[in-house]
Amino acid sequence: MTETLYAIYGASGCGRSLMPVAREHLARTGIQADIYFIDDNLAEPTVINGHQAISYEMFKVLKSSRKSVLIAIANSKVREKLANKLDQDEIELWSVQANNTIIMDGAIIAAGAALSPFVTVTSNIQIGKCFHANLYSYVEHDCIIGDYVTFAPGVKCNGNIHIEDHAYIGTGAVIKQGTPDKPLVIGKGAVVGMGAVVTKSVPAGVTVVGNPARILEKK
């Protein structure tokens, strides 16, 4: 049996951007290992940016005592589906962070997180499975973030905010801080449009845009 095999699941934009983060993550922890791309949409095994790219079925049958996979796909429902598949196959979720990611005190981050360059997670924060925080995003004190939440680049998530499962926060959105007794809540599966300025809680499942952010009615 070989040592741990590492892979990035998804070889499109998100995966190719997170591969260098994963490489520096391994180097920082003193592990020398190749990292595969897994992608189910390849006609045949290939090489992408210097890394072997294979299908999940091929990765699954590689011999190793342990396999660790970062799901690098922005669509949170796909992340959930793939995380469940990995779990069934007893393959662990891998978390990676850039060398300049800052994590302060008492931040509990579940498995499968992708913390890109210049991300800051401050103190006393809870974050669920497969969180994606893209370039320059931050999460301020006392936030609670659910599973499969996605931050595009430059999200400003201030203190005492609760973000429920599968919410998507667009590039450069600013979310006003809540208070300990009345956190600002972004509901399950809600979408916050790019550049939105969110000043009050957002119900589950809706899309909000603009400044101040308002619900985008479906036509």
* Residues that are catalytic: 141
Which of 40, 205, 212, 215 is in the footprint of ligand UDP by CB under 6 A? 40
- The residue among 32 and 41 lying less far from ligand UDP, judged by its C-beta, is 41
CB of 152 to ligand UDP, least distance (A): 10
Q: Which amino acid is located at 131 in the chain?
A: F
CB of 17 to ligand UDP, least distance (A): 8
Nearest to 204, CA basis, from 146, 140, 119: 146
User: What would the x/- binding string for ligand UDP be over residues 5 to 24, using CB under 6 A?
Assistant: -----xxxxxx---------
How many residues sit close enough to ligand UDP to count as binding (CB under 6 A)? 13
78 counts as binding ligand UDP under rule CB under 6 A: yes
Which of 29, 32, 41, 65 is in the footprint of ligand UDP by CB under 6 A? 41
CB of 193 to ligand UDP, least distance (A): 17
Residue with tokens 């994963």: 22
Instruction: Give me the residues that bind ligand UDP (CB under 6 A), please.
Output: 10-15, 39-41, 73-74, 78, 82
